[in-house]
Amino acid sequence: MQKIKKSIAIIVGTFKLLYKSASFYIIAMCIANIFSGILLSLGIVIWKNIIDSVQESIKSGRLDNTIIWLVIHFATILLQALLTEICAYYKNILSTCTNKNITQNVLDKISKMELEKYDDVSFYDKLKKVNEESTARTMSLLNSVEMLVKGVSVAVSTAMILFRFNPLFMILSIIISIPNLIINMKIAIMQYNVYCDRFENKRYIDSIKNLITAHENVKEIKIYNSTPYFVSYILNSYKKYIEEDKKIRKKFVLESFSMESLGNIFIYFLKAIVCYEIVIQKMSIGSLTLYFSSIDNFRSAMANIINVMSSMFEDGLYVQSYFELMKDTETAKESGRKKKFVSEFHKIRFENVWFSYPGTQDYVLKDINFVINRGKNYAIVGLNGSGKTTLLKLLLRLYKPTKGTIYIDEIDINEIDIDSYYKEISAVFQDFIKYPLTIKDNIGLGNVAEMNNLEKINKAAAQGGILEFVNSLPMGMETHLQKEWSNSVELSLGQWQKVAISRAFFKNGQIMVLDEPTASLDPMAEQDLFQKIKDLTYEKTCVLIAHRFSTVRLADVIYVMKNGEIIESGSHDQLINKNGEYALLFSVQAKGYFEDCE
């Protein structure tokens, strides 16, 4: 019962969404369908008169009335065809408007979500459901609205004809239809529960399909011949689904067949009564046709209404993911009273900061205390898993500390307007995005407002070390990247990193955050690039994670992390003289270089 109430509430919410998307078109579509349904029933009455007039013509030898009724019937057919086209036109416009609204609402909502939401598996399932089902199911609801309005219109108009003959016909026809509605709703609930149970596994299957077909994965998949393993997993999952679906359908086959048979018995019982009354009251053959057609149309209309209501109920279950997403309060809460980030800030300070990822108890960062002064270059080093990248995520306000506070000039970072903060940040992540766009757009996305400024884009490309390569391409900056597209090129990982770094330079933020941005560059290229970054970011702040100490030593201050804690800090020379963790890591790497040289 709770699911029925919830589904009804969602259907009402969907109607509001449709109305908000294009109120005129949904009203016009409903009116057109009402008239279309009335015309369908009117056609039965006209056909009755045609048959009666033919009988009279047989006796009189005149076809005047028959021709008139045929012309009227032809006019109703034309009008109905016109109304059908009008409905299709309105529905098409309404569909496009609704798609636009849903897409805008979803993207707006997602853009405001805190990053920690993406660590929640249930959120991913909800997001996938929205992307996979909500738009299609909303359009299905739109079709259902159209069919429901028309079905009700036909049912009401034919009911009026039956009511004149025998009021009991109409009432019994409605009652006999109710069990079918209940069965269909039970099937819909069971199918939705199965859908939810399977969803994470289906999402996993989709990710496997994408993995197998992705251009960058083909080489390794062929070498290891891993496709049969993945195909086997997918096929076994589908076999399991088929068996589950069989069980669901078998459970309701007998019930559905019994109710359908009972309905047909009832219909033919009514038709027998009609035949009896026609003979007793000596009515015309046209009257027999009228009441037979009315019974069939009413039965068909009621069946359509029940199917549509069942479909709407089922669609409502699927669309609820969209409304749950819209109601999700865990977004980046911003207020007009938040303080603007000042690009001329003096320092950023971490005070007793602890952090654990959502859903986990283990602290990734423990009692972090350090300062970033404006205009300085910082490097963060440590073994993998020491917490370096997580530290940057907190600096970028992608996550909030579990305990402790991050201050910008003694103002809690959570009190700073997020948009003004991000406006002054350039970042290159380990898993930077490889946009399937032109090189120009790949760099230009660093600052969307300036992405058509080719002079600045060329300058950023030169700073990132990719301009010479770009100029060697026939299409230059207009070259599309990634091999999936025609006339495109595939870059090496090192070239992609240079594009990502160029994008960061194009942003020209006051704070540059680099998380192993040059991992695919050779040591000399990395050192040259970081020296260039240091020169270009004069009076700006740069925070870098890197593993090569030839690059790290150029930083003004180096923070050393181990097991989620900052255990050392200072310049390269100071840390070497301390002979601690940094000196140990440096000596291990230096030894490797010397051995390579030998």
Which of 351, 410, 370, 374 is closest to 558 using CA atoms? Answer: 370
**Residue appearing with tokens 């007998």:** 254
Give Cβ neighbours of residue 87 (< 8 Å, ≥ 6 apart).
Answer: 29, 32, 33, 36, 146
Residues in the chain: 598
Q: Tell me if 489 sits within 8 A of 481, measured CB to CB.
A: yes
Task: Give me the domains of the chain, ranges plus CATH numbers.
Answer: 2-327 (1.20.1560.10), 436-496 (no CATH)
Alpha carbons 98 and 143: distance in angstroms, whole number: 13
| C-alpha to C-alpha distance for 381 and 11, rounded to whole angstroms | 54
Give residues with Cβ within 8 angstroms of 274, minimum separation 6: 165, 288, 291, 292, 295
The answer to whether 512 and 542 are in contact (CB under 8 A) is yes
Query: What pLDDT sits at residue 594?
Result: 43
Burial class (CB in 10 A: 0-12, 13-18, 19+), 398: middle
Name residue, tokens 């994670």.
Answer: 545
Phi, psi of 372 (to 5 degrees): -115, 115
| Cα distances (angstroms) measured from residue 7 to each of 3, 11, 129, 185 | 6, 6, 16, 11
Structure confidence at residue 520 (pLDDT):
60
Nearest to 379 by CA among 202, 130, 585: 585
Cβ pair 328, 22 in contact under 8 A: no
| pLDDT of the residue at 459 | 93
Is the CB of residue 366 less than 8 Å from the CB of residue 390? no
Query: For strand 425-428 and strand 511-515, is the pairing parallel, antiparallel, or unpaired?
Result: parallel
Dist. CA 503–CA 2, nearest whole Å: 51
Q: Residue 254 and residue 276: Cα distance in Å, rounded?
A: 33
How far apart are the C-alpha atoms of 249 and 355, rounded to whole Å?
50
**Ranges of H-type helices in 367-417:** 388-395
What SS3 state is found at 366? strand
Q: What is the pLDDT of residue 249?
A: 77
CA 328 – CA 562 distance, rounded (Å): 37
Provide the pairing of β-strand 365-373 with 347-355: antiparallel
Can you give the pLDDT of all 598 residues of the chain as single tens digits? 666 676 677 778 777 877 888 888 888 888 888 888 888 888 888 888 888 888 888 777 777 788 888 899 899 999 988 998 988 888 888 888 888 888 888 888 877 777 777 767 777 777 777 777 667 777 777 888 888 888 888 888 888 887 877 777 777 777 777 777 777 777 777 877 887 788 778 878 888 888 887 766 776 677 667 788 888 888 998 898 888 888 877 777 777 777 778 777 887 888 888 888 778 877 778 888 888 888 888 878 887 887 777 777 777 777 777 887 777 755 544 545 577 777 678 899 999 999 998 878 899 999 999 999 998 999 999 988 899 999 999 999 989 999 999 999 989 998 888 888 988 899 988 888 888 889 999 999 999 889 899 999 999 999 888 999 999 998 899 998 887 777 788 888 888 888 999 999 999 888 999 888 766 666 666 667 777 777 766 678 999 888 777 778 888 999 999 999 999 999 999 999 999 999 998 888 766 554 444 4
Q: Strands 511-515, 541-545: parallel, antiparallel or unpaired by DSSP?
A: parallel
Beta carbons within 8 Å of 547's beta carbon, 6+ residues apart: 381, 516, 519, 589
| Residue 332: half-sphere exposure toward Cβ, Cα within 13 Å | 22
Q: CA 474 → CA 68, 151, 442, 456, 488, distances in Å?
A: 74, 61, 17, 21, 11
- Using a 10 angstrom Cβ sphere, with 0-12 exposed, 13-18 middle and 19 or more buried, the burial of residue 129 is buried
DSSP state of 331: B
Assigned token pair, 389:
């990248």
Q: Which residues contact 301 (CB under 8 A, 6 or more apart)?
A: 151, 152, 154, 155, 158
Position of tokens 């009700």?
152
Beta-bridged to residue 568, according to DSSP, are 560
> CA 545, CA 381: separation in Å to the nearest integer?
6
What whole-number distance in Å separates Cα of residue 555 and Cα of residue 570? Answer: 10
Q: Half-sphere exposure of 481 toward its Cβ, with a 13 Å CA cutoff?
A: 22
What whole-number distance in Å separates Cα of residue 154 and Cα of residue 301?
6
CB-based contact 308:144 (threshold 8 Å): yes
Rg (CA), the chain: 35
Is the pTM above the cut of 0.85? no
pLDDT at 518: 64
Contacts of 492 (CB under 8 A, 6+ apart): 520
**pLDDT at residue 4 in the model:** 65
Report the amino acid identity of residue 78. L
What pLDDT shows up at residue 503?
A: 92
Of 520, 554, 555, 544, the C-alpha closest to 389 is 544
512 C-beta neighbours (distance < 10 Å), count: 24
For residue 225, CA distances in Å to 210, 217, 235 come to 16, 12, 17
Contact 416, 338 (CB under 8 A): yes
